Structure 1
């Protein structure tokens, strides 16, 4: 039998780990023809917006926002002092309030400083701020930013008491963050740009509290900030009331594999194919199998990458069982697609929503779908939005459509 580690798929599977591209992988594997105009729109929005503008990056989960941000960040670093971090690094994503985001941003601005004396001065102010109130984060003479946020993330009691103290000192928190940005700007001679990724992963009610109810607080710091925001929050009617005043949104669409009438989009299909073939020799994957997985992804990069990762694993097992090298063929593609179809079958409430999803599938719109239900479908990737920036339309995720056909 062929040892597992001798299979070429053992290494190739690492190329399809379901994570954003960064570093060398970004240089080697990024395919950006479809995203190029949207990346340039984002860069232009950042460059032309006011010094203290708050921008939002919005799109489906799994559409490639973090990879796109990593790519855009390469260009932005030359012009800005970039403070770029994931909310998940410093926040408990199951329990986030606006004050947490401001505090995390303050800490990350300090962490971005390379001048030792400047960092010491900023740390002193940070310590003075968090030492107020009866909380267990008080330290004697020095503070470790990473240790502080680790405890802030995992210790709910301390997180609560710190919030309570800071809510009573909100002006001081805002001013301290703004002053830190001003000090960094003075030191580096560059405008400060803060990018906070993965806030789009917040649960819907929490995101509404942060971006809608907390919009005034979130937009007060005197710095240019780009947040990622969940798609359902973009669909919330309350967003209209704050968007023009507080935010400048930039939307990243899905890669539409066909038009509204079902006609294939060869350019986009080719791009999805290149996403895969940058990471694997085309001799190791049957073309028809690859096309089947592309179509089953619905244009979601995350799902295509997940299909390929599972396909590599199945190819390793098949080769081991048969005692010879195998390729990713149509049988393997059918199995990995079936896995996601089965997942949709398990979790979707067909009796409750059958009428709504049938309408979306047939009419490509949401005219007969309750707004709350549509937000739920989009958030759960049951339904997908296409067409931006032109006339938008909707369809079911292809794997949910297959699950529906089996009912």
Structure 2
């Protein structure tokens, strides 16, 4: 196959990862079709807030990190911005508020060093001593790791992120010292802001990627008061399943603003009408990543890929895998066959996790377009939102509804038959 026609030339552009660099934004960014002023409004709020705390809500894989990276870049001229990724700094399978706050404190200290802030000897020694005592890391080990080229902050952040014993020490020590830690964090913030003459903005990302729902509950519902005590502007990404928790109503009012990044719909609520705005959004993403090469896929196949997937990251992953399948088959373009194969592979992963209770609930949601647990104790809907089996959509009129992930639509008739066999009766709603 001639190199210039190879589908692999654009394969690297289909990574389901956030855009980060100015070059990536210039080449690949597409403005969202609904609530296009949402990020401008959030930017204005931050620019005029003293110590604002904001929740940024959306499905995992919906483009939140890309939008936050873009916002951070736009604010860097007037703010000192910390982009804090839970995924990059902590263990996604095992995290508590104590790990998070100590790690965040180290990131703030690092921000000061990066901006040549001259902390007083007293403040510096006090913070370093506190971190050493909390982690139980000996001076000898610190010197050895520094000799290997690691900075003070990198040493401790690595230990907190990956070492079970260090995490155990931290959690035990901070049982009685968490307030002291918050005070030290705020002292660092005050000094940095005063000496730099800039406000600090912290963007806490990837909380929606925590592997267990209970971890998100621990951060935002059991310990939200500690999150609010960080004395600077902070944006916290907020897992969308928590919105359906009874605690949300009381907690949301404690924050200064809530921004919901909608998942663009590609069909109407009744699934009978295509939403041109949503479909064109996905098309533009595709064409920007193939350098406007229209011969990569025909229009009907592209539209099929769009309506077969539930959200942005799934669409990108299906196209990425289809590029490989098409190349291996010796094709010069993606055809419907490859899209169907990739969608089927993804569908199989979701299906393995579904019980009869899940199936019954999903069929009800498909019929009513509404998702909620039957009681505060039940978490089946929240769990399926967390795992992206259920998706919340919004159109340009601001109407929201719930639907099962479109990748699962081909299973609906099969599910109805399963319930019919189990119940010994025809499935109806």
Q: 1:160 to 1:347 in 2, by over 3 A?
A: same
Partner of 1:36: 36
SS in 1 for 2:55: strand
Cα distance, 1:117 vs. partner? 5.6
Partner of 1:228: 237
Q: Which blocks of at least 5 consecutive residues in structure 1 are unaligned? A: 320-324
SS in 1 for 2:332: coil
| Contact kept? 2:55, 2:255, Cα under 8 Å | no
1:129-140 alignment, distance < 5 Å: 129-132=130-133, 135-136=136-137, 138=139
Counterparts of 1:39 and 1:87, CA distance in 2: 22
SS in 1 for 2:154: helix
Q: 1:20 to 1:133 in 2, by over 3 A?
A: closer
Q: Which blocks of at least 5 consecutive residues in structure 2 are unaligned? A: 416-429
Matched, 1:394 2:402: yes
Deviations 1:318-361 (A, max 9, x none): 11xxxxx5201122222212222222332222x22333211211
**TM-score (normalised: structure 2):** 0.86
Cα distance, 1:83 vs. partner? 1.1
Partner of 2:279: 269
Q: 1:167 to 1:383 in 2, by over 3 A?
A: same
Counterparts of 1:369 and 1:340, CA distance in 2: 29
Count of residues in Structure 1 that have an aligned counterpart in Structure 2: 397
Partner of 1:346: 352
| Contact kept? 1:356, 1:368, Cα under 8 Å | no
| Contact kept? 2:99, 2:170, Cα under 8 Å | no
| Contact kept? 2:193, 2:200, Cα under 8 Å | yes
Counterparts of 2:253 and 2:277, CA distance in 1: 34
Partner of 1:206: 215
Partner of 2:295: 283
| Contact kept? 1:110, 1:119, Cα under 8 Å | no
Partner of 2:106: 107
Partner of 1:296: 308
SS in 2 for 1:168: coil
Counterparts of 2:276 and 2:226, CA distance in 1: 45
Deviations 1:25-60 (A, max 9, x none): 2221010142622222322332344x2222111111
Partner of 1:118: 118
Deviations 1:84-103 (A, max 9, x none): 12112221121111122211
Partner of 2:361: 356
Q: 1:169 to 1:352 in 2, by over 3 A?
A: closer
SS in 1 for 2:253: helix
Q: 1:270 to 1:353 in 2, by over 3 A?
A: same
SS in 1 for 2:379: helix
SS in 2 for 1:334: helix
**TM-score (normalised: structure 1):** 0.90
| Contact kept? 1:137, 1:158, Cα under 8 Å | no
Partner of 2:188: 180
Counterparts of 1:169 and 1:33, CA distance in 2: 44
Partner of 2:10: 12
Q: 1:120 to 1:313 in 2, by over 3 A?
A: farther
| Contact kept? 2:56, 2:238, Cα under 8 Å | yes
Partner of 1:322: none
**RMSD between aligned alpha carbons?**
2.3
